[in-house]
Structure 1
């Protein structure tokens, strides 16, 4: 039996095992997917174990950048983003990919909006910007100079969280890339007439905002692309988490 897993911390909320195990069953693949909790300080010692015991694994916060030095090959897109979320093990070699871009494009393409505000300046923010490069973008961050260094993008606008709270906007797209552990409620005060796409999922939506979309569809599409990389099969995504 081939084994796959998700590494990161915290991950107990993840729906990835349910999703991938349903796909394995649906397509008659003798494989199993589970969670492997790994903190950043444990990553170096876990690499040999993962290589020996798994055929592939997904990578989530906070390890998407930290995993890259341990890989034998990285796709061009993942290398450009310095972010890997999917690894396949082939003959003892670790091959890294970024399927987040695929997942984000599938969702963003359905939202009609000419300008978006991105909350955060970490790896996920960089991936979102890469995915929607043609749009008018404003990054909302704590430290503008640091955000410019982190994102390495000069063609976009930058404002602080304080400036954003004072900024009057309506009918715009706001994309939250901040970790699940950070509460964005205060940042969104007064932003009711907008659409929020939260890259997190299973979030209790208590935000006072007109249209709220959680990251479940992003999860499903990026997971489907990872499944294709591992198995060569493109899975049907409809109803996979019903």
Structure 2
């Protein structure tokens, strides 16, 4: 009997045995497959990375040192005492200087009107008075420092300033009268705001048209009154003056405006057979006149007396005595001053101010009148 016997390996022996098939071991095959899988994974990862890079390149915008929409900053860490929010910085307005010039000038209400306007607008501007005559006007202007912004002009400077101006608006050029000067980068720009001041003051009492107008006086303001009459639709204007020779310069202006005009002595003003719709007195304050007008005329005509000091004037008292309508020159002054403020602020009389109604209300309150020139109730 032979000692050799046939044996069958158990499960553990079978797992340890390496079986070759077609000359390749099972372990070697598994290693090759694993290597292929890993290589394929790396290739896919590289391909995805390339695609991501290409997409990012297509979407990328040029670098901007000051982006329009910067990324929000991270919120600060909470503290026991919240930080006080910072107030937005306000743009500091430069201090500017302005003044009203004339002689005499101590009675002028322009400083009260302008100061109220600039206070309401939040502007740190100064507005003063200066007694200046025509022969000193050029010297005064030449001595102004760069912080000066503008000038208001009254008697006797409204015509004296014309040769000094480098530019004029239409009304100043038409009338040969400028009551406003803007100092604009070395250029003197002249404006006439009296015309609109007259029209606006009359509109405030409901007078929006006038066919026949009387004008008393033949000075610079009479030219503005002529243009205002034309803007109100006048067809005829009678001008009553103390000196016919010194007032003939108004005649060409009246013809240019398409007005039928007569220039007569002041003493004949109340002898007109036709009652005017409007009487505009441009006579200086305190000047008396022999023209008192009839009761009928004073009841039916509106009187605008451009003088407001002293008030009431002789003419205004006569109108008020019979219940006639009277418009104070202070109302005209306020309305023309509003246009001056526009000019000094923006350089343009047609550019309304911010919250202009409130600005005008502050100006009127400063001189104690409403838009029509009537005193404010206590």
Q: What TM-score, normalized to structure 2?
A: 0.59
Deviates further, 26-35 or 195-204:
195-204
Structure 2 residue aligned with 1:41: 135
- Distance in 2 between the 1:88 and 1:203 partners? 30
The equivalent position to 2:229 in structure 1, one of 128, 132, 153, is 132
Structure 1 residue aligned with 2:155: 61
Secondary structure of the 2:294 match is coil
Structure 1 residue aligned with 2:375: none
Shift in Å at residue 5 of structure 1? 0.6
- 1:122 matched to 2:219: yes
Shift in Å at residue 189 of structure 1? 4.9
Shift in Å at residue 146 of structure 1? 4.3
Structure 2 residue aligned with 1:180: 285
- 1:17 matched to 2:111: yes
Contact 1:120–1:141 (Cα < 8 Å) also in 2: yes
The CA deviation string for residues 187-230 of structure 1, in whole angstroms up to 9 with x for no partner, is 22535433321011243224311222211111111111111111
Q: How many residues align?
A: 241
- Distance in 2 between the 1:65 and 1:168 partners? 34
Secondary structure of the 1:197 match is strand
The CA deviation string for residues 106-159 of structure 1, in whole angstroms up to 9 with x for no partner, is 123332543221101111111111122121321112344543334422422233
Secondary structure of the 1:106 match is helix
Shift in Å at residue 171 of structure 1? 6.7
The CA deviation string for residues 71-120 of structure 1, in whole angstroms up to 9 with x for no partner, is 22112221111111111112222111111112112123332543221101
- Distance in 2 between the 1:118 and 1:171 partners? 10
Structure 1 residue aligned with 2:318: 208
- Distance in 2 between the 1:163 and 1:24 partners? 44
Structure 2 residue aligned with 1:142: 242
Equivalences for 1:81-230 in 2 at 5 Å?
81-109=175-203, 110-111=206-207, 113-133=210-230, 134-135=233-234, 136-144=236-244, 146-152=246-252, 153-154=254-255, 155-167=260-272, 170=275, 172-184=277-289, 186-191=290-295, 192-193=298-299, 194-205=301-312, 206=314, 207-209=317-319, 210-230=324-344
Secondary structure of the 2:214 match is strand
RMSD across aligned C-alpha pairs, in angstroms?
2.1
Gaps of 5+ in 1: none
Per residue, is there more helix in 1 or in 2? 2
Bigger relative contact order, structure 1 or 2 (CA pairs below 8 A, ≥6 apart): 1
- Distance in 2 between the 1:171 and 1:83 partners? 26
Gaps of 5+ in 2: 1-94, 347-351, 366-378
Per residue, is there more strand in 1 or in 2? 1
Contact 1:203–1:214 (Cα < 8 Å) also in 2: no
Q: What TM-score, normalized to structure 1?
A: 0.89
